[in-house]
Amino acid sequence: MRRRLIPALLAAALVLPAQDDFKISVSTHLVIETVTVKDKDGKPIEGLTAKDFVLTEDGKPQTITICEYQKLRDDAAVPTTEPVDLAKLPSLTKTSIAPERPGDIRYKDRRMIGMYFDMTSMPPADQIRALTAARKFLRTQMTGQDMVAMMSFSGGGVKILQDFTDNRTLLDATIEKLAVGEGQGFDENPADASSSDSGSAFGQDDGEFNIFNTDRQLAALQTAVKMLGTLNEKKSLVYFASGLQLNGSDNQAQLQATVNAAIRANVSFFPIDARGLTAGAPMGDATHGSPGGIGMYSGASAGFAASNFQRSQDTLYALGADTGGKALLDYNDLGKGIVQAQQAISSYYILGYYTTNLLSDGKFRKIKITIPGHPNATVQFRQGYYADKVFSKFTSSDKERQLEDALMLGDPITELTIAMELNYFQLNRAEYFVPLVVKIPGSELARARKGGAERTLIDFIGEVKDEYGQTISNVRDKVNIKIGGETAAALATHPYEYDTGFTLLPGTYSIKFLARDDETGRIGTYMTKFKVPNLNKEEKRVPTSSVVLSSQLLDMRDAIYTAGKEKATTVNPLVQDGQKLIPSVTRVFRANQNLYIYLEAYERAATTMQPLVAYVSFLQGQTKVFETAPLPVTEGLDPKTKAVPLRFNVPLAKLAPGKYECQVTVIDPGASKTSFWRSNIMVVK
């Protein structure tokens, strides 16, 4: 009877409706490590098992559940297969790498090499060199151990041209189908924000947020390594580009996030400068006009050109060095860089363990691997990783703590697109007011509207540190934005700006600023260094503030997105007569707008107003396209701050759509001093 009772009770439990809902959830996190073990002669040590390794995470021993040896040999080249019909190749719109399935051993004992062509950064000549080098490698240097994938980045996003394969002929045919010139002009041809989604995995639009910085290129690289992260094996990503220059308008957080994503995905970057070895003429080559001016004779022009070229290679070097790869710079045989990526992967072990730390706190986990039985062995492995981060379904207190933790993380979160501008204005002999403006594309808020939200809350948190790492100032604010009356398509065309300000002394600072959409949980991080100069020590030029470019004058009654609005108004020089000048941040303007330009000149030692003259020029290359009439300034000296405001209003209808250099010139005739300021702007239809 007892034998019949148990099945009957089970059947009753399955049939009767449950009175109380309950759920059992089990969370595990598998961590994969690739470990290279060599003896004192540099030869791989084979035959090790999981018991031979001791692995700790943050000092706590972990149980190794996966131990697999990948044995790589440099044997004969891949045999050429039957010719491939280019017309039958799949369309170049694939957006993911096929993940490994349980029991799938096609990647065992294989060397995984990805080739990534950044078509937006390479002119046609460099694209030809890069594709030629890739074709040479495939035809003469690829071995039977190699599996190669092809990826590209253009205006449409990251594309998988070919998944990992050892079919050399198929890879060669894929390169043949890749059009030279694709992606050119991307950085000078912003798409309308309302343009349709291309369906690529890298879904950010081509609008104003991606014109004057490298964030989009770095974010695309991050997308690529996340695709490769679906495979457990060690991977090398050969990155073809014509330099990658970070400047003051770039988000340093995106570079760090890209590097950390590569480390998590077991990907090493091998950047290749597709320009090869260049020998530029001191005054420029035939593609550029002579710079002119005294810089031709002092060497300043040549030094500036050399410095720009060097900076364009620095980021490539950092990407390689920080991920365990190596950059190929100033070398005409680009194929050497691919061979370096090939040789970097030798026989290695794949170790897997389920971490005992299940917190999704986003903190760094330090890993240490030793082999007690081989004390003289050289062991190479990833030194640690950043844990995943979860920002959904928290209480208000949990969200507040999570945002504060995100500010302290070493791994920046770059899920939300943000741009930021910092300026400085002298308040007195010691202090400077530093206004901060953050711009968020409306397409980010459109995500919340598509989800049915009528409003969304944007959280802001940031801190300013000095060069010694001490926190000087911070900000914490939130803005409630009503989005119910607009469609998602309408939201996508309207960026949103938030501004605040700090009072600082002259010096070098760094700022880390986060914004979070509480509706979707997406967080964006902006990090940069900035300098507040000591204008009291300026003797050779007219001391001036930052130059603010804008297309908006906003009534202060409508300036609801301002932290500490009442306090900031009293010191913010961008507020005049009840109106606030809103900095453009991205410096992209439409032809039907007016360009407002504001700056201050300082006459610190003057007791009465000393006349100044100022004008604005717009240049394309060395051609002066338009210049305003000289503006004589004979009044306006603030007796307290000793500041002379300079304002311009330029109708952009006078300029054809395109990219310009905007130059502001200030002349002090009495002291025979001049000051110049330049920045790139874009005028679109």
β-strand pairing of 419-422 with 60-61: unpaired
Q: How far is CA 319 from CA 125, 146, 218, in A?
A: 24, 23, 10
Low-confidence ranges of the chain (pLDDT < 70): 1-28, 74-95, 102-104, 155-156, 182-208, 210-213, 247-249, 280-305, 389-396, 398, 446-453, 484-493, 556-570
Side-chain-facing half-sphere of 380: CA atoms under 13 Å: 16
pTM score > 0.75 for this model? no
User: How much is the pLDDT for 544?
Assistant: 95
Q: What is the pLDDT of residue 401?
A: 73
Q: What is the pLDDT of residues 420-471, one digit of tens each?
A: 999 999 999 899 999 999 988 877 776 666 666 677 788 899 999 999 999 9
> Do 230 and 99 form a contact (C-beta atoms < 8 A)?
yes
- Provide the greatest CA pair distance for the chain: 113
β-pairing, 111-118 vs 235-241, is parallel
Determine the 3-state secondary structure of 181 from DSSP: coil
Residue 652 pLDDT: 92
Provide the pLDDT for residue 585.
Answer: 87
Angle between helices 168-177 and 124-136 (to 10 degrees): 170
Domains of the chain plus CATH, in order, are 27-71+351-386 (no CATH), 108-344 (3.40.50.410), 394-537 (2.60.40.10), 542-685 (2.60.40.10)
Query: Looking at residue 7, what is its pLDDT?
Result: 33
Amino acid 394: pLDDT: 61
Dihedral over Cα of 260, 263, 265, 270: its sign: positive
Alpha carbon 675 to chain centroid, angstroms: 33
Taking the CA of residue 72 as centre, how many other CA atoms within 13 Å lie in the half-sphere pointing to its CB? 22
Choose among 526, 501, 342: nearest CA to 437: 501
Residue-level pLDDT at 419: 87
Alpha helices per DSSP H over 208-345: 215-228, 252-264, 295-298, 300-322, 335-344
Please state the φ and ψ torsions of residue 596, each to the nearest 5 degrees. Answer: -95, 130
